[in-house]
Amino acid sequence: MITQDFAESNLPHNKEAEEFLLGSILFGGMASKAIVDQFRSDFFYFARHQVIFQQIQFLLAEEGVIEPVLLIDQMERNGLLENAGGRDFVQELGKKVRTSTNALEYGSIVQQTARRRAVIEVCQDVETRAKQGQAPADDLIEEASTLILQLADNSRRKNVTHMNEALENVFKLIDARERGENAGVLTGFKDLDDKTSGLQPTDLVIVAGRPSMGKTTFSLNIALHAALKNKVPVAIFSLEMSHDQIAANMLSNAAVVPAHHIYKNQITDPEWERLTNRAVDLSKAPIFIDDSPGLNALTIRSRARLLHQKHNLGLIVIDYLQLLELGGGRAENRQQEISQISRSLKQLARELEVPVLTISQLSRAVESRESKKPQMSDLRESGAIEQDADLIMLLFREEYYKPDSEEAKGLAEVIIAKHRKGSVGSFKLSFRGETLTFAEPPLPSDTF
């Protein structure tokens, strides 16, 4: 939206810096292309300056040049010359400077005043809504912090990428994989890592299953491997288990000590030694657990941003989707709310450029079928989840339904039902419930 030229406004602005910046761009010609590429018209406060900069961008895109005479001609043909202050004003801009060497300094001043205006706008909006008293205070606080963090992020983020740069990134990725390097977060499960090259940045990953299939255990195994083995900073947002339970379960897994021994204080001397040794390792692992009551999609996004700024997250785990509420918004029904939550989590993955692994329940339809093996259509409120997810894994333990089956004993199947960047299929893992461990068959007896 173009701002009106109210010189008397008390909003932060610097008319001289805006004019000198435009003059430097016009004087510098194509040498100023880098400045134009990284700037936005709404950084300018005055409407005429916004118009001029927009037309410079248009001229550069269409003609590949930055030239005052062509700029004036273009604006005249588009009927925008008067909105830009007229021919004399545009010509004078180019005469204000004798060098473009200070363009970056002028640009910094203009950008800083624009950011201050944006902060004021956010604060005024929150103040107005707080006075109206309709929105819950917690929602207002989370929205305000989210918007402020977005302002900080947007100042660094480049929104448009040329195809040449995108292709360079593709070949860097190909080259890295040829050298045996993985661009994604390794899970510790060879079959899964071979198929996916690890959980990929920007991906929304869904781990789904019926109760007692081991969804949370499987997801925490991945988180533990990433943080403990590869030092990947991991954030875990838990709506079901407390941070103490998560820590105890991870310790059980890492030390290969039955979880019920920990909870019931039935620890043997050898187990105690393993627990204390692995606790030292775990205490150094970059794992951050948020089990705050009332977590919703909005608070998770806000807190994930803060954690990412401080710790450069490599993986986010959310347990679980059906317990989440939207927060800061209203949906007509639960299906619509799940749809908005799913979209929000995908946006979070893209924004922070980390995989977001979200645990999801499956519907009871599985129980009514003769074959209990899950299908993607069994996802609750599945339409939006299927659409937004990049990778969907369904967990199935036949042993749960056939406890007397020797073939099914101690085995789990991971079904890759959707893989946007590769093939689907399935693979088997060993499962030991007492130590909350999934592993490649055969399951090791005393090692992590």
List, by residue number, the catalytic residues.
Answer: 240
State how far the Cα of 16 lies from the Cα of 35, in Å rounded to an integer. 18
Task: List, in order, residues 6 or more apart from 376 with CB less than 8 Å away.
Answer: 382, 386, 392, 394, 417, 418
Rounded to an integer, what distance in angstroms lies between the CA atom of residue 281 and that of residue 181?
A: 25
**Structural tokens at position 316:** 């986010």
Q: Which residue's structure tokens are 């979209």?
A: 343
Kindly state the tokens that stand for 129.
Answer: 């809504």
CB–CB of 415/210 below 8 Å?
no
Residue 355 preceded by cis peptide, ω within 30: no
| 443 DSSP 8-state letter | P
d(CA 127, CA 121): 10
DSSP state of 374: -
Q: Between 103-132 and 15-28, two packed helices, what is the crossing angle to 10 degrees?
A: 140
